[in-house]
Amino acid sequence: MEETARRLALDLGGELKDEQFSVMTQQTLEHCRQRIREYERKQLAKQPVH
């Protein structure tokens, strides 16, 4: 998904921005990935054990 967003931004002459409208850096992207992993971990913890 990141590659598609970057390609679209490049093709359209724009920039990728985060939720605060700051330019998306590699560090910002890694932070987003960490937030996604944390969310997934919390969702898995909520699932009942069979």
* CB of 17 closer than 8 Å to CB of 23: yes
- Give pLDDT, residue 23: 93
Contact 29, 17 (CB under 8 A): no
Each residue's pLDDT tens digit in the chain (50 positions)? 889 999 999 999 999 998 899 999 999 999 999 999 999 999 999 887 77
Residue 48: the pLDDT is 79
Q: What pTM does this model have?
A: 0.68
Do the Cβ atoms of 6 and 13 come closer than 8 Å?
A: no
Q: What was the pLDDT predicted at 12?
A: 97
